[in-house]
Amino acid sequence: DAGVIQSPRHEVTEMGQEVTLRCKPISGHDYLFWYRQTMMRGLELLIYFNNNVPIDDSGMPEDRFSAKMPNASFSTLKIQPSEPRDSAVYFCASSFFFLMSQGAGTEAFFGQGTRLTVV
Amino acid sequence: ELKVEQNPLFLSMQEGKNYTIYCNYSTTSDRLYWYRQDPGKSLESLFVLLSNGAVKQEGRLMASLDTKARLSTLHITAAVHDLSATYFCAVLSNFGNEKLTFGTGTRLTIIP
């Protein structure tokens, strides 16, 4: 498998424009996560899905942010309108739930990220 | 709210030396992960620790979990330059969700 695939890798946009980030999770994974990474706030979980259903979106900063997962192989994170403070690296990650003799858990695999700059 | 703290935040060490990075968390959990991130790159999974007393080793890195103390350690043995990176611990709460909360990260620089 090619791993988690994100596009675009880099995006520069003007304030007020709509931005759409895309993610293809690893086939067979049933969880998908969107994270944002900045120097000031570190890695923040924005939203996660289980079997295409949004489970927790409490990390989505404002109504300007929305995320969808129309099927098991595709998710989008949209920012409309974008602002300079949205500039960050956005990571998508996917994972699968597993049971082991030592316990149950998940292991998340991250995409390469999208570096967003809003000017 | 689950809080995850790492220390130190920055660490410079000479090649060949040993050191430990600490990860403390604020709520009951027996699911902890360590990741590595190189500058400008993605996060790479290093270890998955799923029970009290779990110990995992890969090369010069060894991770352990003490759920009673709510503490995990990442021990580096005889450091080499290619271990320079930022290391993150991440914790999953035991309370019925898969919300992975990351620590602040430890930026490790190995000096020749």
3-state secondary structure of A103: strand
Q: With 90 as the cut, is the pLDDT of residue A106 above it?
A: no
Q: Is B2 on the interface with A (CB under 8 A)?
A: no
What's the mean pLDDT when you consider all of chain A? 92
Rounded distance between C-alpha atoms, residue B35 and residue B2, angstroms: 18
Rounded distance between C-alpha atoms, residue B14 and residue B37, angstroms: 20
What's the mean pLDDT when you consider all of chain B? 91
| pLDDT tens per residue across span A27-81 | 999 899 999 999 999 999 999 999 999 999 999 988 999 999 999 999 999 999 9
Chain B hits for A101, CB-CB cut-off 8 Å, are: none
Stated length of chain B: 112
Chain A hits for B33, CB-CB cut-off 8 Å, are: 107-108
Q: What was the pLDDT predicted at B96?
A: 62
Q: Do the bridges between strand B100-102 and strand B4-7 make them parallel or antiparallel, or are there none, so unpaired?
A: unpaired
Shortest distance between the Cα of A108 and any Cα of chain B, in A, equals: 8
Q: What was the pLDDT predicted at A1?
A: 66
Q: With 90 as the cut, is the pLDDT of residue A5 above it?
A: yes
SS3 readout for A33-70? EEEEEECCCEEEEEEEEECCEEEECCCCCCCCEEEEEE
Report residues of chain B scoring pLDDT below 70. Answer: 94-96
- Between CA A67 and CA A71, with CA A68 as vertex, the angle to 5 degrees is 155
